[in-house]
Amino acid sequence: MSKGTVVLAYSGGLDTSCILVWLKEEGYDVITYLANIGQVEDFDAAKKKAESLGAKKVFIEDLRAEFVEEFIWPSVQASAIYEDRYLLGTSVARPCIARRQIQIARQEGAQYVSHGATGKGNDQIRFELTCYALYPEVQVTPWSMDANLMHISHAPAGLYLMTKSPEDAPNSPDVLEIEFKKGVPIKVTHVKEGKSKDTPLDIFSYLNEMGGRHGVGRIDIVENRFIGMKSRGIYETPGGTILYHAHLDIETFTMDREVRRIKQGLGVKFAEMLYNGFWYSPECEFVRHCIDKSQERVEGKVQLSVFKGQVYILGRESPKSLYNEDLVSMDVQGDYDPCDASGFIKINAVSLPGQLPASPGI
């Protein structure tokens, strides 16, 4: 007699295949679920393997478009980066994967969900916090190279898959123009070739292609895991790295200084919550709402080049620009009033009583 039904987040690899067999031996009916979030995977072969090992049903879900629009784009808006270097490629995928797993569990009347994340890693926490947030009654049966559309993570440095070595990259740059609206990219154009992409999935996939071609987005870091230990990570995030630099440039160009200071703090908080698995928490929902509000004026175009592992900003334009070349120029006075309503007094003006004289040349 069956002990109940388990929805297993399945990859087709050794770990989750062993879990499938073990769950069957323990008396559970097992439904396997494979999420396509952009990783290179033979999904047909994985399905056949799951069926041969006794899976009751196999779900293969294409989540790539919603992964970009609902999870990567908010991370771009936030300029989300953990401990100053990690662009959170694994972290941002987990709430997307686990959400669909819970939807399947509810749909199929399953009492349990299972995953292959190890006990010493962050992913066990990320999966389980999402599961309990979206389906409090569910029980988790917990028992890696990780890859998705945004990035890939490894242990050995010789396993780079998304990016060429910068030494082997082309000897001439590719120049791209990225157009933003409300802080998210709406179009990318190859300036020389005239090729354009204008859907979220196509934009991100093309930036991955261009960044990978030039060896952009490789890092080797030691990070602080949520569970209290340091770990080494080697990551490739080509498209995400390009977008991080481009978004930062257009945001600075269009956003009020004081708003941006607050938004920067929210971005750091968002990155911590995302890394630690709190995407579906009320506090993370609140922070995402505030960040989204901050992006209302963030629109325009950024031109950049990718070359030998680097992203170089070449220029930007925006109808919402807060930059005024005449106002900032030291050579043009224009209509600038040094004692306008802002209350600031021009530093190199004649000092008033009780003020120190300004230093020459300021």
Strands of 218-224's sheet in order across = 146-147, 152-154, 230-236, 218-224
347 has pLDDT over 50: no
Please give the pLDDT value at position 360. Answer: 44
Summarised one tens digit per residue, pLDDT across range 247-271 is 999 999 999 999 999 999 999 999 9
Q: Is residue 97 within 8 Å of residue 37, measured between CB atoms?
A: yes
Say if residue 242 is in the same domain as residue 218.
Answer: yes
Same domain, 288 and 181: yes
Lowest mean pLDDT among 209-213, 246-250, 327-331, 354-358: 354-358
What CATH number does the domain containing 218 carry?
3.90.1260.10
> One-letter amino acid identity for 219?
I
Query: Is the pLDDT at 216 greater than 80, yes or no?
Result: yes
In a domain? residue 324: no
Query: Does 9 reside within a domain?
Result: yes
Mean pLDDT of 49-69: 97
The set of catalytic residues is: 15, 94, 123, 144
* Residue 150 sits in the same domain as residue 180: no
Averaged pLDDT score across all residues of the chain: 90
Q: Does 282 lie in the same domain as 176?
A: yes
Q: What's the pLDDT tens digit per position in 141-158? A: 865 456 777 767 765 546
Residue 201 and residue 70 share a domain: no
Is the same domain home to 285 and 216? Answer: yes
Q: Which residue, 136, 124, 133, 135, is CA-closest to 9?
A: 124
What stretch of H or E contains 179?
strand 174-181
| Within a domain: 221 | yes
pLDDT at 358 over 60: no
How many whole angstroms separate alpha carbon 62 and alpha carbon 303?
Answer: 32
- The gap from C-alpha 31 to its chain's centroid, in whole angstroms, comes to 29
Which residue, 134, 154, 174, sits at the end of a domain? 154
pLDDT digits (tens, 9 = 90+) for 183-195: 999 999 999 999 9
Q: What global pTM score does this model have?
A: 0.88
Residue 47, domain member (yes or no): yes
Q: Which runs of consecutive H residues, i.e. helices, occur in the chain? A: 14-25, 43-52, 64-67, 73-78, 89-108, 123-134, 200-213, 238-254, 257-276, 282-294, 325-328
Question: pLDDT band at residue 334, thresholds of 50, 70 and 90?
Answer: low
- How many domains are contained in the chain? 2
Q: What is the CATH number of the domain that holds 100?
A: 3.40.50.620
CB 291 within 8 A of CB 267: yes
Residue-number span of the structural domain to which 253 is assigned: 166-317
Over the range 163-173, which residues count as b (16 or more CB within 10 Å of their CB) and which as e?
bbeeeebeeeb
Residues 194 and 137 in one domain: no
Q: Does residue 228 share a domain with residue 148?
A: no
Judge whether 306 lies within some domain. Answer: yes
Residue at which a domain ends, from 154, 181, 215: 154
Bridge partner residues of 141 (DSSP): 114
Closest by CA to 116, choosing from 16, 12, 30, 11, is: 16
Q: Per the domain annotation, does 90 fall within a domain? A: yes
Is 140 in the same domain as 85?
Answer: yes
Average pLDDT of span 33-61: 96
Considering 79-93, 109-123, 140-154, the range whose residues carry the highest mean pLDDT is 79-93
The whole-number average pLDDT for the span 62-86 is 98
Rounded Cα distance between 362 and 360, Å, is 6
Q: Are 141 and 17 in a shared domain?
A: yes
User: Does residue 141 sit in the same domain as residue 18?
Assistant: yes
